[in-house]
Amino acid sequence: MLDAVDAVLVRELQRDGRATFQALADRVGLSRTAVRARVQSLLETGVVRVVGIVHSAVVGAEAVGHVSVTVAGPAREVAAAVAERPAVGFTALTAGPHDLVVQVRTRDDAALAAEVDHIRSVPGVEATEVFRTVATVRDAHAVVRALDRITLDDIDWRLLQELQRDGRAPYTRLADIIGLSQAATRARVVRLMRSGVIQVTGLADPLALGAAELGGFGLVVTGPLRRVAEAVARLEGVRYLATGFGRYDIVGQAEASTRAGLVEVLDAVRAVPGATVRESWHHLDVVKESYAVELPDKPPNGAGAA
């Protein structure tokens, strides 16, 4: 469990992964040197990873499926095999109606169907159910807003590749890689972030922040779907929410410091007019959580994002 200062630093890095050490020092009331040492310790121990998360529209990975998996036999081996797929961004062992939950992100529905077929072919998988996401309403880490119109060149693309690997890569290093001045490099990075092409954020160990309990839920809705979804997304403890079609109208993820707190979040969801919790599940172990995407060497067709 983190002390109060480290907890604030992690939260600040979640808001802005490229916040300067001076800005962080001003926030917590310590010297720049002390804050630098604390942040380095948080990074080196894996409490937080600062990464760049590229908007799905930029890389053409907008077909998202939430796959619930029933397993015959040991579930952990199945989860490990499923998690090896690059298109799988999230895998968790669960207690509830299914044994695993998996998030798959691909370029289109044909590719999504192929990935689900691969999951079905993993030894031990007995059954799968797919929720096809139409719109992400809330994601504590990824960019969910529409992109500003922007054209990306080869230099921008190289910056995206580097920021995916290390969201806090110094401007000096980035400038050396792309062959521009530090000022020009900074201007490009700021442009990429402000336009929504990439979000640089801290991915934190939930246990370190006191969020020891994670769970998911599937909702059916009466009335306007978007209105209900936005009301649920505003609730404290809801860290992910998407609308779509399948067994549910909405799929979400919640976090809390205790199991009782997780129950309170689910009860708050149930209290939203028009929302009915059809199923809920408890995340026993998160096997994989990754927002990285495989970027080609150059922007697709030399084009940008709109």
Q: Is 61 in the same domain as 123?
A: yes
Q: Is 266 helix (H, G, I), strand (E, B) or coil?
A: helix
Q: Is 102 in the same domain as 23?
A: no
Q: Is 25 in the same domain as 89?
A: no
User: What is the predicted pLDDT for the residue at 303?
Assistant: 45
Domain extent at residue 111: 57-142+206-289
Which domain CATH number covers 86?
3.30.70.3460
170 assigned to some structural domain: no
Backbone angles phi, psi at 104, to 5 degrees: -120, 135
Structure tokens at 76: 């952990």
Q: Is the pTM of this model over 0.75?
A: yes
Q: Is 127 in the same domain as 230?
A: yes
Q: Is 18 in the same domain as 128?
A: no
164 assigned to some structural domain: no
119 assigned to some structural domain: yes
Q: Is 74 in the same domain as 106?
A: yes
Q: Is 28 in the same domain as 131?
A: no
135 assigned to some structural domain: yes
Which domain CATH number covers 9?
1.10.10.10
125 assigned to some structural domain: yes
174 assigned to some structural domain: no
DSSP for 58-80 reads: HHT--EEEEEEEEESS-HHHHHH
Q: Is 68 in the same domain as 19?
A: no
Round to whole Å and give the CA distance between 298 and 193: 19
Q: How many residues comprise the chain?
A: 306
Q: Is 244 in the same domain as 216?
A: yes
Q: Is 27 in the same domain as 87?
A: no
Mean pLDDT by 10 residues, the chain (306 residues): 89 92 96 96 91 83 92 97 95 96 94 97 97 92 71 92 93 96 96 91 77 91 96 96 96 94 97 97 92 72 48
Tell me the chain's radius of gyration from C-alpha atoms: 20
Q: Is 136 in the same domain as 210?
A: yes
- In terms of Cβ atoms closer than 10 Å to its own Cβ (0-12, 13-18, 19+), residue 256 is buried
User: What is the predicted pLDDT for the residue at 147?
Assistant: 72
User: What is the predicted pLDDT for the residue at 302?
Assistant: 47
Of 171, 200, 192, the C-alpha closest to 50 is: 200
Buried b (16+ CB within 10 A) or exposed e, 123-137: ebbeebbbbebeebb
